[in-house]
Amino acid sequence: MQSKTTEVKVVSPDEMEAILNLEEVQLVDVRTSDEFAVESIPGSQNIDFESPTFEEDIDKLDKTKPVLLYCNAGKQSAKCAKKLLDAGFIKIYDLEGGITKWKYKGGHIKQRS
């Protein structure tokens, strides 16, 4: 019997694009709702890491499905990844450099005015 090892894998924008194409992931933007309202990566949902309801909000995610986190530059999502590990999530990806690096590398974003 193989035991499941839980880890956080930091991924580049190119790796993230491949993951989004190959796996059914829960794409989570951990920035504030104001930041999310301005721009986001298509298909993502917003769970504000600074929100008082953060713990309850992550409980709504499926712990058995991969979660791909991003923030503005990578610091918040790294902290969030640790919380997800502690909460028992099985597979966690963290976008290196956040949405800033994603945009720089030519990744598609949804902008709102």
The CATH number that applies at residue 40 is 3.40.250.10
CA distance 25 to 70: 13
- Residue 2 has a pLDDT of 43
Domain tally, the chain: 1
Could you give phi then psi for residue 20, rounded to 5 degrees?
-65, -30
User: Which amino acid is present at 89?
Assistant: F
Q: Domain span at residue 68?
A: 7-107
Q: What is the pLDDT of residue 33?
A: 93
Query: What does the buried/exposed string (b/e) look like for 3-15 if buried means 16 or more CB atoms within 10 Å of the residue's CB?
Result: eeeeebeebebee
91 lies in some domain: yes
> pLDDT tens across 34-54, in order?
999 999 999 999 999 999 999
Active-site residue, from 8, 27, 71, 92: 71
> Is residue 112 included in any domain, yes or no?
no
Helix or strand or coil: residue 88?
Answer: coil
- Give a yes or no: residue 45 inside a domain: yes
pLDDT at site 7: 80
* Count of positions (residues) in the chain: 113
pLDDT class for 4, splitting at 50, 70, 90?
low
Residue 32 lies in a domain: yes
Closest to 36 in 3D by CA, of 51, 25, 46, 49: 46
Is residue 80 among the annotated active site residues? Answer: no
In which band, very low, low, confident or very high, does the pLDDT at 107 lie, cut at 50, 70 and 90? Answer: confident
Mean pLDDT over each residue of the chain, to the nearest integer: 89
